[in-house]
Structure 1
Amino acid sequence: MRYFMTIIPPADLKPEDVSQGLMDAMGPWMERSLKSGALVSTGGLKPAGEGKRLKGHGGKVATTDGPFAEAKEVVGGYAVFEAPDLKAATALAAEFLQMHIDNGMPNVTLEIREIAGGANY
């Protein structure tokens, strides 16, 4: 089964706040997880200020440039896992979160959910 994990950093996190230790730990973790087949895809996202939000509004498409003032939590990255069940996917996510905690980012939130349907290749 495939699981989608969102990474929600603290709202005030700046790119320069990410420690070199975390960057150094991330490479081997990703290599190991990709090789085992547990990690399908991952990536960081550019700041919300560089994005757009599209909404259906009154039967029309409304586009808003970022940043989005009403956003309390902004997704900073994602990962797609292949795991036999939610328990195994949660263990992978916990390992990923612990790596952040151990490298100076103790206030990161992760959300993981099973991907239902869609094009899962």
Structure 2
Amino acid sequence: MRYLITVNHEGELPTDVPNELFEAMGAFVSKLAEDGILIDASGLAPIEKATRVELRGGDIKIVDGPFAETKEWLGGYFILQVRSEAEAIEYARQSVELHQKHVPGMNVAHDVRQIMDEED
């Protein structure tokens, strides 16, 4: 089964994120790749560089970031091929633990969602 794990942040990204977090996450992702679990993973450009295309009240609107009303933002993602949802959740927990260890004050959440295939 394939799972998308999103890396969601609350508030602004701290400007003092230590290199140790990036190194730890790099090692974590490399291990997932070596184990044949990782399909894809990446960080995303800052929300200030995003563009939103939205439909509200029947109107389509294009808005450049940053978005004042945004309280949470997507910082990156993983796509994993695993045997179960429990396994995907465990990898998400490990990633959150790395954030906790290297940037204790950072608020981060990982959403774990199965990617729906035709046979699902």
- When normalised by structure 1's length, the TM-score is 0.85
Task: Find the counterpart in structure 2 of residue 113 from structure 1.
Answer: 113
What is the CA-CA distance between 1:60 and the residue it aligns to? 5.4
Amino acid at match of 1:36: D
| 2:52 counterpart SS class | strand
1:21 pairs with 2:20: yes
CA distance in structure 2 between the partners assigned to 1:68 and 1:13 by the alignment: 14
For residues 25-53 of structure 1, what are the alpha-carbon distances to aligned partners after superposition, in whole Å with 9 as ceiling and x for unaligned? 12221111101121211111111111111
CA distance in structure 2 between the partners assigned to 1:7 and 1:76 by the alignment: 5
The structure whose residues are more often strand, as a share, is 2
Task: Find the counterpart in structure 1 of residue 41 from structure 2.
Answer: 42
Q: Aligned runs of 1:18-97 on 2, under 5 Å?
A: 18-57=17-56, 61-97=60-96
CA distance in structure 2 between the partners assigned to 1:61 and 1:4 by the alignment: 27
CA distance in structure 2 between the partners assigned to 1:17 and 1:110 by the alignment: 21
- When normalised by structure 2's length, the TM-score is 0.85
| 2:111 counterpart SS class | strand
What is the CA-CA distance between 1:97 and the residue it aligns to? 0.9
CA distance in structure 1 between the partners assigned to 2:7 and 2:17 by the alignment: 14
CA distance in structure 2 between the partners assigned to 1:56 and 1:104 by the alignment: 36
Is there any run of 5+ residues in structure 2 with no aligned partner, and where? none
Aligned residues: 117
Q: Against the structure 1 CA distance between its residues 59 and 22, is the aligned structure 2 distance closer, same or farther, given a 3 Å change threshold?
A: same
Amino acid at match of 2:103: G
Is there any run of 5+ residues in structure 1 with no aligned partner, and where? none
